[in-house]
Structure 1
């Protein structure tokens, strides 16, 4: 897979502005590739059969014929406009995240009201994908959404926040890189993910059975709570430099020592996302 940091810089202005902006390509595609390396052969074949039906999505400008393309399709469609300039798929924006306050008891009821949150959509898509009576077009759509949303759930600022649009309202510097519109969310979406994924041995590999079972244990609620806790314990704690529930400065800085400290945390989140996606795909298609 190509490293995409130069592309991230070009996309920053677009993605920083949106609270629904999701893991950039490198994060989503790495999670999808980890899953691909760990699913059953029969699951792989059935995924390929569905992706060959990508034309049923009705989005020729957003490809989904490969696992890498499918991983970012849900973000690509955000750029499709109606004739009047409005976002054609704007109703899907809220599906990429869940605003669970890290400083209150964990609860998905209000953030997921009406099914408009990432964990509810993961459950919905897995169910649609598994049901062989679901129309093929809906199964293809469920597949590409599922691949993407499991990635989103494992970006901690899509699972927990503190009234700041998942860190979008928190201006931030990344080491010595400090463009005017950079924020905490975009750092975790792109720059930190890029650094973590490309540090150390490749995360894309076949993992031992015991490790897969241990990491993929539990369900979407368990994974949501875990990612929410990472937002509390790692994302905000390091950004603030103390109590994550204390006042958040208008502008924070992640220095090089902090970035290095966060690399193992981000690598674990990406691995968790890949192996849990593999579990869901095998359950639905294997």
Structure 2
């Protein structure tokens, strides 16, 4: 009971954020900022300088803040076409990415991430193109690590599955976007900065050896093994079962984002 009350207190401190969760489409702002801040801590010094230059062109104060840009602009008329790029719908029985089968003509997150990584890497793109690509990459790496972004088409990645979490009405997608991270990350910047001391060199090396198709497979496995549930009234048990997975996905997203940016901007891994 005491642990539940402590958790509810944390939820209430984030109420303004949580009330927007019903329409969430990705990690909430805090989740994306955690991924961006972790990534910043693992960038090579010379790459940080290049990232700072590109963020200045984009008008963004930092990588953490820039990681929310793709959500901020998705409802603008000129960027509505980007909506399908934030996710990939995968069936429960799925054994590996095949673009022609899994990525519709409108696009999907795996193909989009590959595209914007290439733009960020290419010496033939303009600085403004490279700056925009950085913003997309920073966001899409985070999105791909949210398990429900590989959810089922028929329930729109859990958006159509209504649940209650500690009495709050929400949906399964929003639960993973906002409610679960809110339980352990009241201050996203402090939380992210602590991760630099908790992520081991062995983890960093292993996580950065993988690629986007593997990240999708990891999220798919988590979605169907842990996120999807027949329960409608969720609370402490569900939170405790899944907290470690949410934290690991945020850490992996940050480490892998750093790896993508380091490689794309030409610095050698160390």
Same fold flag (TM > 0.5) = yes
Alignment check: 8 A CA contact 1:102 1:231 kept: no
Number of aligned residue pairs: 250
Q: Distance in 2 between matches of 1:70 and 1:228?
A: 26
- Give the 3-state SS of the residue equivalent to 2:164 in structure 1: strand
Q: Distance in 2 between matches of 1:136 and 1:255?
A: 47
Who is 1:6 aligned against? 15
Moved >3 Å (runs of 4+): 103-108, 196-204
Q: CA deviation at 1:193?
A: 1.9
Gaps of 5+ in 1: 56-63, 81-86, 242-251
Alignment check: 8 A CA contact 2:87 2:149 kept: yes
Q: CA deviation at 1:197?
A: 3.9
Q: Distance in 1 between matches of 2:207 and 2:96?
A: 21
CA deviation digits over 1:224-260, x for unaligned, max 9? 1111111111111xx226xxxxxxxxxx222211211
Change (3 A) 1:27 1:108: farther
Q: CA RMSD in A?
A: 2.3
TM-score normalised by the chain length of structure 2: 0.85
Gaps of 5+ in 2: 1-10
Who is 2:67 aligned against? 71
Who is 1:88 aligned against? 78
1:42 aligned onto 2:22: no
Q: Distance in 1 between matches of 2:136 and 2:255?
A: 17
Alignment check: 8 A CA contact 2:14 2:186 kept: no
Give the structure with the larger helix fraction: 2
CA deviation digits over 1:204-235, x for unaligned, max 9? 32543322101222211111111111111111
From 182, 191, 196, give the equivalent of 1:194.
Answer: 182
Q: Distance in 1 between matches of 2:146 and 2:98?
A: 17
Q: Distance in 2 between matches of 1:134 and 1:115?
A: 23
- Give the 3-state SS of the residue equivalent to 1:39 in structure 2: coil
CA deviation digits over 1:250-282, x for unaligned, max 9? xx2222112112100111111111111111011
Q: CA deviation at 1:23?
A: 1.1
Who is 2:123 aligned against? 132
1:268 aligned onto 2:264: no
Who is 1:244 aligned against? none
